[in-house]
Structure 1
Amino acid sequence: MKLARILAGILVPPLGIFLTVGVGPTLFINILLTVLGWVPGSIHALWVIVKHDERMDREGVY
């Protein structure tokens, strides 16, 4: 599932964010960044996905 979220974060950044954290402020920020440019949206999506996974690993949720 992590690979799918990373690929979605690169190809369709808001989808990667949605699959990772759901609907919230992070998703709306990413939509705005993606509208301003695909590259900023992708960078933000990858950052959120990786940080979310790190946090979940640290907390032992997975």
Structure 2
Amino acid sequence: MSVETVVEVIMAIFIPPVGVLIRYGCAAEFWICLLLTILGYIPGIIYAIYVLVKD
């Protein structure tokens, strides 16, 4: 993992949509993460970390 990915994952732990927004912009991944974070903070974190480390 690069330093860039580590920073994104750290952001995803504290504010999940921001971590995804940094990498993908306002794509579908961001909106899904935002919705999951609104519905429950933990699902938002799990999804954000999954999306960021799958590449």
TM-score category (smaller protein)? 0.7 to 0.9
State TM-score, norm by structure 1: 0.78
State TM-score, norm by structure 2: 0.87
Runs of 4+ in 1 over 4 A off after TM superposition: none
- Paired-residue identity, %: 35
Aligned length: 52
Between the aligned partners of 1:26 and 1:4, the Cα distance in structure 2 is 18
Larger radius of gyration: 1
Tell me the C-alpha RMSD between the 2 structures. 0.8
> Could you say which structure has the greater relative contact order, defined with CA pairs below 8 angstroms and 6 or more residues apart?
2
5+ unaligned residues in a row in structure 1: which ranges?
A: 53-62
